[in-house]
Amino acid sequence: MTTNSNYKKRALAVRLWKIDDAGNVREDTRLDLAGHRAHALIESFGAGFFATEAQIQIWGLRKEIMAQYQRTAFDIYLSDLHIDGYVSIFAGTEGEQLNLLFEGGISSATADFNAAPEVPFSIRAYSAIAYATQPVASNSAPGETDVAAMIEAIAKSAGLAFKNYGVSGIKLRNINLSGTTTAQIQQLADAARVTCYLDNGTLSIWPDNIGTAEDGLAAFPVVDINAENGMIGSPTFHQTGIEVRCVCNPQIRFGQRVRVKSIVPAATGEWFISRVSHDLETMNPGGPWQTTVRAEVSSQYYESKRNQQ
């Protein structure tokens, strides 16, 4: 009997936890779930604080665990929009270090007992829901203020990491901000024509016109997709770009550049990622394990086409 030494067993792990009224993790609620049949669909489909959404289904959980974390949209309204439950999703190869794919606040978590004996526990979560539901202290700045610096200060006061891709020299005068963390940042972003995106505890900003501007775009991380590293099939086209699939790649994020190499000449080149979907399932033979990228044209694309003429 021979075995395939290249065979890799995929793994999905989910971490659940709750916080107290002061925002501290309740250690007695931290729960790591691994080795269960699970399905995760994680989608980043546009700039904004709710742009990353995760839908997770886990089978084989005990009733008391599902009861502890159960939450409906109605529960959120009854609690004055307080988010007290969080989820992290990790993916990779069994026996190796798993990669963080998503982290966010839980908006709903329910069990479907009509599916017994295989009862799924379904969770829906958003990357920034906790930052968008609770007001924080107001911020004001008389005179002229650098937009990127103020966004960074607000983000860090909320415990977020910060990355700036090309926003510089933009200033506003006599700033007065109120509301939630995301509302205050969005007020600045709208006034300065800056895109903000929150993913896995990091707030990233870049100019709204980054798809056609060299400044900032060059600073974006670039990821390669080709037949040698896991491309599935060939790219297809939409009105302003391409869509391409590959074996799940946790390094692919919304807002990156993607460098595609394909037998389709018009799809080969650099593109700007406008939507990412990770569709993963374990403990179910034939289940998906792929990343789908929707990408738009960039100024580099236009320039390369001009040079070919």
Specify the DSSP element, H or E, that contains 251: none
* Domain ranges for the chain: 10-131, 139-207, 214-308
Give the bridge partners for 55, in sequence order: 41, 124
What's the pLDDT score for residue 47?
55
Could you tell me which of 121, 97, 110, 69 has the C-alpha nearest to residue 13?
Answer: 97
- Residue 235: both structure tokens together: 């790219």
The DSSP secondary-structure symbol of 173 reads: E
- Predicted TM-score (pTM) of the model is 0.85
CB 237 within 8 A of CB 266: yes
List per-block mean pLDDT (blocks of 10 residues) for the chain, which spans 309 residues: 59 91 78 94 74 92 93 66 86 93 92 94 90 86 94 93 90 93 92 88 81 52 92 94 95 88 94 93 93 81 53
Q: What's the CATH code, domain 214-308?
A: 2.40.30
CB 182 within 8 A of CB 49: yes
Cα angle, residue 144 at apex, residues 143 and 149 outer, rounded to 5°: 125
Amino acid at 138: S
Q: Which fold has domain 139-207?
A: Phage tail protein beta-alpha-beta fold (3.55.50)
What's the pLDDT score for residue 240?
86
Please enumerate in sequence order all residues whose Cβ is within 8 A of that of 5, keeping only pairs 6 or more positions apart, or say none.
none
What's the pLDDT score for residue 214?
46
CB 154 within 8 A of CB 181: yes
Rounded to 10°, the helix 147-157/181-192 angle is 170
Q: Do domains 139-207 and 214-308 have the same CATH topology?
A: no
Distance from C-alpha of 31 to C-alpha of 15, rounded to nearest angstrom: 6
